[in-house]
Amino acid sequence: MGPELHFQMIINRSAELREQAADHRRAREVEKARKSQAGGVRRRSLFGKISAA
């Protein structure tokens, strides 16, 4: 494999990885926004609400 072809493959792969990272970052931001819109109320399980008598 020639150096030019290898260099082009590296450029393409790095662009793909940057795109994946951007998608992942956007997904985390959306999840964070959804959690903040929920009013910050944590939902507890049934067993978390029952107190030991």
pLDDT per position as a tens digit, 1-53: 799 999 999 999 999 999 999 999 999 999 988 888 776 555 666 666 565 55
Q: What's the pLDDT at 34?
A: 87
Q: What's the pLDDT at 27?
A: 94
Q: What's the pLDDT at 18?
A: 97
Q: What's the pLDDT at 49?
A: 59
Q: What's the pLDDT at 43?
A: 60
Q: What's the pLDDT at 3?
A: 93
3-state SS, the chain, equals CCHHHHHHHHHHHHHHHHHHHHHHHHHHHHHHHHHHHCCCCCCCCHHHHCCCC
